[in-house]
Structures are given as C-alpha cells and as structure tokens.
Amino acid sequence: MTDKPFESLPRHVAVIMDGNGRWAKKRGLPRSEGHIEGAKTFRRIGEYAGNLGIRHLTFYAFSTENWSRPEAEVKAIMSLFGDYLDEALRRLDEDKEKGIRLRFLGDKSRIDPALVSLMDTVEEATREMTKVNLNIAVNYGGRQEILQAAQSIARDVKSGALSPEEITEQTIEERLYTAGQPPVDLLIRPSGEQRLSNFLLWQCAYAEFWYSDVLWPDFTEADLDRALGAYAARSRRFGGL
C-alpha cells in the first residue's frame, strides 16, 4: 500500500470484478466460493479507495447477461448481495459517519422485490452523504442504460415537453443511472480480460484503462496503488494535442 499521496487521483474509478469463478476453479472449489471471496475483496478495496480520497466508485457486480449463468451460481450471487444489503443496513451509522452514499445502478425490475426494498432503504438512508459515492451495478447493462435514457427523452419529445433541437449530451447524461456524477476517469479490470463487457459505455468514453492478470479475489490494495500510479503517469488529452 502507498505511504504517500498520489500526484493525481481520478475522480471516478470503475472496477469490473472479474475472475471469481476462475479463482474457485483453480482451487477445486464451487464457483460460489469465488464470489464469496470476491465480495470480501470488494469491501476491502472499496473502503481503501474511499480513504485515499476517491470520490466516486462504481463496481460491476452483476450484468444483464449474467442471468444466463447456471441457476445455482445466480442464486449464490443474489444471496451474497442480500447479505451485503443486510450488512449495509447494520452499518448505516458507520457509513454515514464516513460520508458514504450507496447507489445501485441497473434495472431493478428483475431483482427479487425483497432485495429491491432493501436497496431502496439503503439508498434513501444514505442519500445526503457527500464524501464518497459508492455505486454497485446490479442487473446492469450499458446498452440497456442508454436505451432507457433514449426512451425517456422520446417520451418527452412526444409529449411536447422537449424538442429534438434541445437534446444535448447533458440531456442524455441526466437520464443515466450515474446522473450528477462525473464520467469515469479510470477503469480497472483484473483477471486478464481486456474488454468493457457492456459496462458504463457512455461514462467510459475517455476513461483510462488498466488491466491486470490478478483474479479479483486476489486483488489487493497494492494492486490498486499500481493502477492509480499508472493513471497519474498518463497524459490525458481528450482527443486534443
């Protein structure tokens, strides 16, 4: 872990928590065990990043495509998510003290209503927190997010509340799940894969990417330090010179 502050910290870091299943397979364990360890890593890395001063964190927990995985694995992931929500409710006072606002990005319509109720309770309870925005993407898809934003705009155009000429990038951004938050500065993907996997497609337009062969359950604070160090050393030109 770092013993000095970084010269330049990203405002918004996004993490694709990849490699849980492979971590378990390498050890002859059920895939669910990999997700259990991955959840522990999420808690540890999220807290460490917040303590470093990163204001916005988004973790990819479950995609719209992940429903196609074996039923037992999906149930295990959702059970872990329920455990996390229960823990979040128990730690509300602690999270409020740390200024952590919890938000859940994605389509809640397919998620168990009992979990949705817990999600809503946690979001409402931490709504006024301003130090760290901790986003968890659940049943999330980047294309689906942009589609629902487009549909929302189309409804306003149809009703006469908005004209096509008034539509700007800001119009779209205001209807994304991340409305009010800055775009992603740094995208981290462990496990050796090098693709976005339908994650924050709009928000990552000018993100710096950092890849690692480390499987997510083995990802450490030192790995995050390396990613942040690489980010600080890069020159971001946003299409300019």
d(CA 43, CA 165): 44
The catalytic residue among 20, 66, 133, 135 is: 66
Strand ranges inside the chain, DSSP E? 12-16, 56-63, 100-105, 132-140, 186-189, 208-211
Q: Burial level of 106, CB count in 10 A (0-12/13-18/19+)?
A: buried
DSSP, collapsed to helix, strand or coil, labels residue 232 as helix
Phi/psi at 137 (5° precision): -90, 115
DSSP state of 136: E
3 given a catalytic annotation? no
86 given a catalytic annotation? no
d(CA 93, CA 107): 27
DSSP state of 162: S
d(CA 241, CA 140): 35
Residue in the structure block whose two tokens are 């119009």? 171
d(CA 216, CA 213): 9
The amino acid occupying position 195 is: R
The catalytic residue among 3, 18, 86, 225 is: 18
Catalytic center residues: 18, 66
